[in-house]
């Protein structure tokens, strides 16, 4: 490793180019604090140049580069930018703004030298002139805008290519690329300074502009650190970026993958476009909450990928570290980086299919809907393993996923703990690793059946039925989960002779015996005052004997046996009415759930318990559990 000070003139005034590798993040500097701080320093040095005062060099920080062997004698000498791309990009945009002001004013003696800082000469003899023309070649997603700016030739042309966009009913414009904003910022401040300095010093604008160029050429330096062949650029990148704005786990992992791609001399643009570009979108950068913390979807997708591959828990804060350990084995897990990215892309598409689904648009039988409504995204590593790693055909996959769904659904209904689900499902993956095809399903059953305690137990039929009768699921389950269970019950109750097999969207959960039951629903032949029905401890004097019965009714009316589904018109119509009035409204419903009440003449606690038992038995049929491990 060699470190040398380099003025901006020495840095840019040669036939070379600085290439920002794929693993680097996008250009993120903004006016405050970066652009404005840089400009204050430039203006200060330029003012000293105007006065003829000798100034000490101002160091802008370190630039770490790694030379790359040319692939052709025609190729312009290339350096990879390991650290310092934000500074380099900002300096190029400042110089471009200066050049365009010189062009607008026809200052050829200023235009030409600055152009040499931005572009290499003799493009007609270059290997790839559309790329090698530029002294700086940014990362893929910044290239088009950067090239637009440097090729436009004027501020007006840049604005024409990248105008402000106002969407309907919005007062503020959409965000524009900060590459464009940086160029326009420096255009404004350079032009204003040149005009102001000329007025203050009685010099011409061209003379003050020349002083500004001298300051840039002579008074600003970087410490250029050129890596030697034995230096580990990957480790240096990590250590340098451990300070300041933290890199995400996906930033670090991208650096690992594309540094290896550089060493394999792969076509970086090709593999980026084919595989990684799909992960540089708003969907993958969006923050989602998991376990009380926020992560980007890409960070989560990488974590699930690794857990599906290893069958081991991966700390969300150390995904990159664990991935590096996993990938750095001999013999290599993948023949090439391209094969590695293709595999991750395959898992990413599967993860996206689950993460991007809209619950309301999915049938209740869709596993994606089950995972979302039951709030068990922690099962995704196991799902990814079964779908992509276990070598199952379509029928075997469906059988395995049905077993996982049964395990989850029964535990939801019986109220088992979920706090160790992340460990549980990864542990299941670990137990299945090494198995393929027909061996997976029986092994999955054995693993799920042998779990113990409240965190790993697969509830038996008797437990499911008992909870269907007694558990106040309306209070204890989230509405999406409870609605899903009722929808699945409705589907199971239907036959081939039933019309309208699709479940209507927007169904609402209805209490048959209403929560406000005092007005129309007698208890032991007596109407109970509303305040006592709501607050049983107020049952005194002649109502004292009803206190416990009120508590029992208020408990059982929240159970599965007292719940059904109605559309948004029927639900308020039935509401707190008497059972007789509700029966009239229920006859408008096409749901099989509501045909249960057709022969009924009364509805009480015993009726609710009987229906709860029937529905519990139906749940066991929908989500079966084997009695013993195969």
Query: Is 629 domain-assigned?
Result: no
3-state helix, strand, coil in the chain (%, to 5): 60, 10, 30
Q: Read off φ and ψ for residue 82, nearest 5 degrees.
A: -80, -35
**E strands, 183-271, in order:** 220-226
Three-state helix/strand/coil letters over 329-350: CCCCCCCCHHHHHHHHHHHHHH
Same domain, 20 and 71: yes
pLDDT digits (tens, 9 = 90+) for 146-196: 999 999 999 999 999 999 988 887 888 888 999 999 999 999 999 999 999
pLDDT of residue 630: 59
Q: Tell me how many helices (H) and strands (E) the chain has.
A: 31, 10
Q: Which of 435, 459, 483 is the last residue of a domain?
A: 459
Q: Is residue 223 in a domain?
A: yes
Residues 6+ apart with CB under 8 A from 44: none
* Whether the Cβ atoms of residue 410 and residue 451 lie closer than 8 Å to each other: no
Q: Where are the alpha helices (DSSP H) in 282-336?
A: 282-285, 297-310, 319-327
488 with 437, same domain: the answer is no
**Same domain for 485 and 407:** no
pLDDT > 60? residue 238: no
* Rg of the chain taking only CA atoms, in angstroms: 34
Which comes out higher in pLDDT, residue 574 or 282?
Answer: 282
Secondary structure element (H or E) that encloses residue 508, with its range? strand 508-511
> Could you count the other beta carbons within 10 Å of the beta carbon of residue 352?
17
Do 355 and 477 fall into the same domain? no
pLDDT in tens, 483-507: 999 999 999 998 765 656 567 778 8
Per-residue model confidence (pLDDT) at position 467: 97
**Domain of 234, in residue numbers:** 2-247
Co-location of 260 and 175 in the same domain:
no
In this prediction, residue 38 has a pLDDT band, given cuts at 50, 70 and 90, of very high
In 3D, which of 238, 260, 230, 268 has the Cα closest to residue 82? 238
Q: Pick 479 or 627 by higher pLDDT.
A: 479
Mean pLDDT, rounded, for 24-44: 91
β-strands 508-511, 293-296: how paired?
Answer: unpaired
Lowest average pLDDT, out of 224-233, 324-333, 431-440, 532-541, goes to: 224-233
What pLDDT sits at residue 243?
Answer: 44
Kindly state whether residues 271 and 224 are assigned to the same domain: no
Q: Is residue 167 classed exposed, middle or buried when 0-12, 13-18 and 19+ CB atoms within 10 A define those classes?
A: exposed
The answer to whether residues 55 and 188 belong to one domain is yes
Could you tell me if residue 549 is inside a domain?
A: no
Q: Measured between alpha carbons, how far is 370 from 622 in angstroms, rounded to an integer? A: 13
CA dist 313 and 252 (Å) reads 19
In a domain, 531, yes or no: no
Residue 540 covered by a domain: no
pLDDT number for residue 524: 86
Distances in Å between the Cα of 34 and the Cα atoms of 26, 29, 599, 623 are 15, 6, 76, 59
Q: What is the mean pLDDT of the chain?
A: 88
Residues 195 and 262 in one domain: no
Q: Model's pTM, two decimal places?
A: 0.71
Three-class SS state of 172? coil
In a domain, 102, yes or no: yes
pLDDT at residue 69, as a whole number: 82
One domain, residues 493 and 397: no
What pLDDT is attached to residue 24? Answer: 73
| Statement to judge: residues 406 and 510 lie in one domain | no
Residue 455 has what pLDDT? 85
Tokens linked to 579: 């059972």
Task: Decide if 515 contacts 504 (C-beta within 8 A).
Answer: no
Residue 138: is its pLDDT beyond 70? yes
388, pLDDT greater than 90? yes
The predicted structure's pLDDT at residue 498: 64
- Judged by DSSP in three states, 18 sits in strand
pLDDT at 413: 97
User: Where among 459, 480, 498 does a domain terminate?
Assistant: 459
Provide the 10 A C-beta neighbour count for residue 163: 11
Q: What is the pLDDT of residue 244?
A: 41
**Residues 105, 37 within the same domain:** yes
Total number of domains in the chain: 3
Tell how strand 136-137 and strand 220-226 pair up: unpaired
Q: 202 pLDDT exceeds 90?
A: no
pLDDT digits (tens, 9 = 90+) for 395-454: 999 999 999 999 999 999 999 998 889 899 999 999 999 999 999 999 999 999 988 778
Same domain, yes or no: 419 and 471? no
- Cα–Cα distances in Å, from 219 out to 8, 10, 43, 99, 330? 8, 12, 11, 19, 50
Is residue 305 domain-resident?
A: yes
In a domain, residue 172? The reply is yes
């Amino acid at each position: 490793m060699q470190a040398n000070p380099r003025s901006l003139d020495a840095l840019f005034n040669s036939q070379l180019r600085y290439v920002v590798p794929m693993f680097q993040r996008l250009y993120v500097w903004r006016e405050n604090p970066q652009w404005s701080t840089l400009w204050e320093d430039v203006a200060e040095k330029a003012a000293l140049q105007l006065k003829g005062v000798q100034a000490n060099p101002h160091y802008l920080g370190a630039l770490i580069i790694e030379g790359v062997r040319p692939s052709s004698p025609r190729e312009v000498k290339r350096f990879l930018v390991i650290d310092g791309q934000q500074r380099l990009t900002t300096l190029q945009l400042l110089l471009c703004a200066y050049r365009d002001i010189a062009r607008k004013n026809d200052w050829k003696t200023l235009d030409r030298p600055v152009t040499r800082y931005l572009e290499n000469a003799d493009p007609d003899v270059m290997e790839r002139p559309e790329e090698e023309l530029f002294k700086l070649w940014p990362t893929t997603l910044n290239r088009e805008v950067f090239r637009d700016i440097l090729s436009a030739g004027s501020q007006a042309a840049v604005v024409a290519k990248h105008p402000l966009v106002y969407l309907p009913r919005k007062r503020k414009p959409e965000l524009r690329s900060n590459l464009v904003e940086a160029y326009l910022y420096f255009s404004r401040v350079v032009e204003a300074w040149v005009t102001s300095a000329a007025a203050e010093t009685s010099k011409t604008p061209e003379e003050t502009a020349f002083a500004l160029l001298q300051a840039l050429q002579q008074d600003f330096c970087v410490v250029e650190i050129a890596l030697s062949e034995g230096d580990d650029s990957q480790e240096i990148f990590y250590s340098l970026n451990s300070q300041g704005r933290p890199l995400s786990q996906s930033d670090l992992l991208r650096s690992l993958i594309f540094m290896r791609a550089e060493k394999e001399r792969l076509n970086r643009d090709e593999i980026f476009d084919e595989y990684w570009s799909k992960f540089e979108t708003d969907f993958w950068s969006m923050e989602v909450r998991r376990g009380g913390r926020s992560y980007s979807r890409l960070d989560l997708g990488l974590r699930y990928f690794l857990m599906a591959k290893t069958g081991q828990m991966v700390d969300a804060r150390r995904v990159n570290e664990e991935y590096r350990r996993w990938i750095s084995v001999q013999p290599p897990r993948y023949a090439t980086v391209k094969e590695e990215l293709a595999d991750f892309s395959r898992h990413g598409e599967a993860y996206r299919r689950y993460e991007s689904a809209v619950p309301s648009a999915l049938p209740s039988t869709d596993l994606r809907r089950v995972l979302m409504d039951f709030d068990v995204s922690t099962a995704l590593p196991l799902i990814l393993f079964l779908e992509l790693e276990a070598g199952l055909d379509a029928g075997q996959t469906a059988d395995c996923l049905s077993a996982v769904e049964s395990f989850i659904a029964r535990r939801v209904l019986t109220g088992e703990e979920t706090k160790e689900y992340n460990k549980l499902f990864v542990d299941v993956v670990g137990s299945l690793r090494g198995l393929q095809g027909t061996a997976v399903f029986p092994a999955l059953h054995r693993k799920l059946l042998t779990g113990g305690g409240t965190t790993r137990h697969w509830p038996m039929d008797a437990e499911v039925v008992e909870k269907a009768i007694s558990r106040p699921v309306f209070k204890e389950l989230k509405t999406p989960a409870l609605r899903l269970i009722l929808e699945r019950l409705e589907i199971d109750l239907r036959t081939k002779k039933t019309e309208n097999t699709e479940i209507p969207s927007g169904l609402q959960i209805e209490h048959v015996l209403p929560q406000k039951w005092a007005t129309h629903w007698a208890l032991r032949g007596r109407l109970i005052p509303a305040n006592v029905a709501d607050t049983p401890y107020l049952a005194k004097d002649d109502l004292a004997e009803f206190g416990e019965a009120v508590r029992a009714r208020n408990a059982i009316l929240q159970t599965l046996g007292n719940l059904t589904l109605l559309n948004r018109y029927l639900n308020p119509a039935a509401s707190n009415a008497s059972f007789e009035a509700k029966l009239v409204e229920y006859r408008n419903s096409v749901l099989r759930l509501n045909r249960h009440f057709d022969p009924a003449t009364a509805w009480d606690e015993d009726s609710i318990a009987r229906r709860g038992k029937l529905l519990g038995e139906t749940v066991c049929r929908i989500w079966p559990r084997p009695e013993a491990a195969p």
